Chain A
């Protein structure tokens, strides 16, 4: 719609994309270098291209277990979140009931709570119930952020579906579960996708809780990395490679929800 300004805008866009990608590129670039090269010479492209760093990560259990752990608790979190959020979202979008507004608001507040606040209590709580250093612990802790978000996004999508469809179904004789699974769910596929995406996003990127609630068995990759950092003798190359590998899943997920992501952001208001 905007022919003349088009030029200026593309230039800006291009500039931003550069700004967005260069730091990432730099890490990628580094991940293909050897530590010696990193420290010794300064170059825009790896001089002695090497896969070693990735090789170390994918072979050394202390590294790759981190990924597996992360993926496990992230998926757990996603599954739990969706299963509990779908009915709730439906309730919020379709009925009004005692204190609905307040509950919704209260859910919201959790999304806004600084993880730091819950650090200690979580530590205590999970130690007492013996969930410490399990995937479940992290998954549950992350519910705190993913559930309100999911409910919110799903509610937005569901409200876009005319209530008459539900009524028609009941008139036709559908039971609620059957209607929900066979008719309703297919209509909000997009919403579910977006919600899942945001669960992934928040659970995958979160460090503070994940690190505090785990020590060995469920240690997430993000934690592994920070600890490598704090351990002196900076292993830049491996660190970079590890970083690159953490970006990959995210990039893949985005690609799948790309068409809904903007809509999702607006609806869920993140």
Chain B
């Protein structure tokens, strides 16, 4: 309405200065260190040699890394394949308002508020065939289930755990999207004699599109960084079945403590994420403007 665009005001920089300082302290400095490491060979704190891109080359060639990357991709994609539809369905079935809505909201969001390692612990307990309900039930059903012994089982358990943990995020995003649809749309649809499916297909889905896309990218990236849950549950095993990038990296960095490659790898990892993040950001700019144009 107001034809006044944001006024240009360079003084605004002073307002964001605090943020810059904080984040710089906890982001830029460390990043520099990483870069610094990635191009040196640290034999001992005193003796370091400049090695240029050597580590990068090495890391790129590292078979284990390729394997980990592959595992990561498969996992992230599966996560999306399950959580997106499930989330939408959940969003659609959540009550719109009243105390019911509050209660459901709280229950649904609960899993997001559980420390990630506790999530691991919960499933660790839940899945054990001797003391866990899930494990025991499966045993009782005659499935020789063991997330510690069987790679497939381990992988599946991690997946289910992630679904349990993160589907609410997608659901809440979709839910928010749904709530933003004006009633007139539903009324119009009723008057046009639209079927429930038509309402979903032509009103709800299009209106949710923006937030859902964001949900997709968020889930993809977060699952790309998954560390704690599998670490607690399976410790990356059996074998490397559930060793994803983050854990692979920490093993390198902390475990074997060969800093150079670790740093180099960190940077590569970081760049991958950065790329994804870039896509996400532009997406939201696009969606944002669309919403403004299509705004009522």
Contacts and interface: CB of A to CB of B under 8 A. Distances in A.
Are A and B direct contacts in the complex by CB distance below 8 Å?
A: yes
Interface string A242-260: 0100110011011100110
Given A24-B110, A247-B110, A110 B23 contact: yes
16 contacts: A1-B186, A17-B108, A20-B107, A20-B164, A23-B122, A84-B19, A95-B12, A114-B225, A114-B246, A114-B270, A118-B26, A121-B29, A148-B23, A208-B228, A258-B105, A266-B177
- The size bracket of the interface on B is 35 or more
B30 A88 contact: no
Given A39-B130, A92-B16, A222 B196 contact: no
Q: Which 4 A-B pairs have the closest CB atoms?
A: A250-B113, A121-B30, A266-B176, A91-B15
A233 interface: no
B49 interface: no
A143 B274 CA distance: 18
Interface of A: 1-2, 4-5, 9-10, 12-13, 16-17, 19-24, 26-27, 30, 38-39, 42, 44, 80, 83-85, 87-88, 90-92, 94-98, 100, 103, 105, 107-110, 112-122, 124-125, 140-141, 143-144, 147-148, 151, 162-164, 201, 204-208, 212, 221-222, 225-226, 229, 236, 239-240, 243, 246-247, 250-251, 253-255, 258-259, 261-263, 265-266, 269-270
A117 B115 contact: no
A186 B12 CA distance: 22
B266 interface: yes
A13 B93 contact: yes
Contact of A265 (B130, B176, B276): B176
Given A265-B169, A269-B284, A247 B114 contact: yes
B131 A87 contact: no
Contact of B266 (A22, A117, A162): A117
Interface stretch (B57-65, B76-84, B141-149, B247-255): B247-255
B19 A147 contact: yes
Contacts of B12: 91, 94-95, 97, 100
A91 B12 CA distance: 5
Contacts of B175: 262, 265
Contact of A236 (B5, B13, B22, B125): B125
Contacts of B156: none
Nearest to A103: B16
A207 to B, nearest CB: 4
Contact of B225 (A23, A116, A225): A116
A4 to B, nearest CB: 7
B114 A250 contact: yes
A207 B116 contact: yes
Contacts of A141: 26
B122 to A, nearest CB: 5
Contacts of B13: 91, 97-98
B158 interface: no
A93 B179 CA distance: 24
A125 B33 contact: yes
Contacts of B134: 23
A117 B25 contact: no
Nearest to A111: B277
A247 B23 contact: no
A20 B116 contact: no
B23 A147 contact: yes
A49 to B, nearest CB: 17
A122 B33 CA distance: 9
B112 interface: yes
Contacts of A100: 12
Contacts of B34: 117-118, 120-121
A265 to B, nearest CB: 4
B69 interface: no
Contacts of B199: 2
A208 B227 contact: yes
Residue of B18, B21, B180 with most chain A CB atoms under a 10 A cut-off: B18
A115 B34 CA distance: 13
Contacts of B284: 269
Contacts of B262: 120
Contact of B218 (A115, A258, A270): A270
B123 interface: yes
Contacts of B96: 1
A114 B102 contact: no
B71 to A, nearest CB: 15
Contacts of B221: 112
A147 B22 contact: yes
Contacts of B89: 12
Given A239-B121, A243-B118, 5 more contacts: A16-B90, A112-B276, A144-B27, A255-B106, A266-B173
B10 interface: yes
Contacts of B155: none
B39 interface: no
B232 interface: yes
Contacts of A5: 196
A67 to B, nearest CB: 11
B7 interface: yes
